[in-house]
């Protein structure tokens, strides 16, 4: 970390700052170039609050040379983290496809879809029980009843299950869930992240709509700082000026996150694009870019159903996409 001091800082002011920094466990090297004084901070600088430092009256600017995240950082943990759920592994060369409907609607629906996606080669079942909706008047999900149906589908198919949590108060309901999902809108719900850091279940953390790669990793750091190391990062599109697609899928996040962190990465092309015809090509692109997994929305009967999303594939479309996904996967490993 480099801090540039303002011109005219007195020796006394500088010493006061230096002592405060050393007190926090970093070594301080001072360089003077004409009117500029530059402090180089060496050591465990992730504990230094750079926003706090940059606000001081005597400080002109602060630049991190090393990253503010530590436990999720590949520099300090070279090997890929591998998440194991039943027979399924994610990360470290293991590829995993998660599929299922946006919302759990009925026993018949979730079990039928579960069987169909398993048949097509999916490794895990997703389904929303608690649904974050922009409008209070929109369907909020089947909630705890939905969770029970999801568990039933797990029992019938053997597929591990993943579903979203929206409040720490619901944590008890997630006992039989294999992976807990944190949605994009809750990526910086820090109290939720702290609570999940104390659980023993793997967490799939979705990138916030307007979150930078650095903020994304810092939110993962919240979970790991609480003691839970089993985190999957999920890129699901960011908010930009473009309105044709629901969000802009940032596939460069895949190789970038692989460089910066040892955590596995999953891509959700369904929510990112919001357009059914883009799901298959974006899935293939994500695989070519090195993703460790995909999360794809599949609905068993979108033609007749009245509450399916525009981005859901039919089971047939999903089976077709899986063929292409597997071809690309075979070409890149």
Binding residues among 163-202 for a second copy as defined by CB under 8 A: 166-169, 185-186, 188-192, 194
Q: What's 152's DSSP letter?
A: H
**Residue number, 90 or 325, with CB nearest to a second copy:** 325
Site string for a second copy, 303-332 (x = CB under 8 A): x--xxxxxxx-----------x--xx-xxx
Tell me, by CB under 8 A, how many residues bind a second copy: 104
Choose one: 76-84, 91-99, 110-118, 137-145; the region binding a second copy (CB under 8 A).
Answer: 137-145
Q: Is 275 in the site for a second copy (CB under 8 A)?
A: yes
- The strand pairing partners of 81, in sequence order, are none
**Residue number, 79 or 169, with CB nearest to a second copy:** 169
How far is the C-alpha of 251 from the C-alpha of 273, rounded, in Å?
12
**Residue number, 156 or 209, with CB nearest to a second copy:** 209
Q: What is the CA radius of gyration of the chain?
A: 23
Which member of 75, 155, 198, 239 binds a second copy (CB under 8 A)?
A: 239
Going 133 to 136 to 139 to 140, the CA torsion angle's sign is positive
How far is the C-alpha of 114 from the C-alpha of 71, rounded, in Å?
35
Site string for a second copy, 3-32 (x = CB under 8 A): -x---------------x--------x-x-
Residue 138 structure tokens: 């929109």
Nearest to 155 by CA among 134, 184, 128, 125: 125
Choose one: 35-43, 83-91, 109-117, 118-126; the region binding a second copy (CB under 8 A).
Answer: 35-43
Which member of 199, 256, 319, 320 binds a second copy (CB under 8 A)?
A: 256
Q: Is 47 in the site for a second copy (CB under 8 A)?
A: yes
DSSP structure string for 43-93: E-GGGS-HHHHHTSTTEEEEE-SS-S--TTBGGG--SPP-EEETTEEEBTT
Which member of 11, 137, 175, 200 binds a second copy (CB under 8 A)?
A: 137
Largest Cα–Cα separation, the chain: 76
**Residue number, 232 or 254, with CB nearest to a second copy:** 254
**Residue number, 88 or 223, with CB nearest to a second copy:** 223
Nearest to 295 by CA among 179, 145, 132, 198: 179
Q: What's 238's DSSP letter?
A: B
Residue 254 structure tokens: 């895949």
**Residue number, 88 or 238, with CB nearest to a second copy:** 238
Q: Which of residues 55-114 bind a second copy (CB under 8 A)?
A: 55-57, 60-61, 63, 65, 68-69
Q: Is 147 in the site for a second copy (CB under 8 A)?
A: no
Task: Give me the least distance between CB of 87 and a second copy, in Å please.
Answer: 27
Q: Is 215 in the site for a second copy (CB under 8 A)?
A: yes
Residues 6+ apart with CB under 8 A from 18: 28, 30, 39
> What does the chain come to in residues?
333
């Amino acid at each position: 970390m480099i801090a540039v001091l303002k011109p005219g800082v007195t020796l006394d002011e500088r010493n006061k700052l230096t002592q405060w920094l050393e007190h926090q466990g970093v070594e301080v090297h001072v360089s003077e170039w004409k009117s500029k004084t530059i402090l180089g901070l060496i050591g465990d600088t992730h504990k230094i609050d750079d926003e706090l430092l940059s606000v001081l009256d005597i400080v002109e600017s602060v630049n991190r040379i090393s990253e503010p995240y530590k436990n999720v950082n590949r520099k300090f943990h070279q090997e890929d983290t591998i998440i194991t759920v039943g027979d399924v592994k994610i990360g470290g060369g293991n590829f995993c496809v998660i599929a299922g409907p946006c919302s759990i609607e009925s026993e018949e629906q979730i079990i039928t879809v579960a069987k169909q996606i398993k048949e097509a080669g999916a490794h895990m079942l997703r389904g929303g029980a608690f649904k974050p909706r922009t409008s209070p008047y929109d369907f909020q999900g089947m909630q705890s009843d939905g969770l029970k149906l999801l568990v039933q589908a797990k029992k019938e198919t053997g597929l591990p299950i993943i579903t979203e949590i929206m409040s720490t108060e619901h944590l008890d309901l997630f006992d039989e869930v294999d992976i807990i999902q944190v949605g994009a809108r809750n990526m910086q719900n820090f109290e939720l992240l702290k609570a999940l850091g104390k659980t023993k279940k793997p967490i799939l953390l979705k990138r916030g709509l307007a979150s930078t790669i650095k903020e994304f990793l810092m939110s993962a750091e919240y979970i790991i700082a609480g003691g839970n190391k089993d985190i999957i990062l999920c890129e699901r599109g960011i908010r930009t000026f473009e309105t044709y697609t629901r969000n802009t899928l940032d596939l460069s996040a895949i190789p970038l996150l692989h460089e910066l962190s040892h955590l596995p990465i999953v891509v959700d092309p369904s929510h990112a694009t919001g357009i059914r015809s883009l799901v298959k090509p974006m899935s293939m692109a994500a695989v070519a870019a090195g993703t460790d997994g995909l999360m794809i929305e599949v609905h068993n009967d979108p033609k007749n159903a009245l509450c399916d999303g525009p981005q859901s594939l039919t089971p047939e479309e999903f089976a077709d996409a899986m063929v292409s996904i597997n071809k690309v996967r075979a070409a890149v490993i």
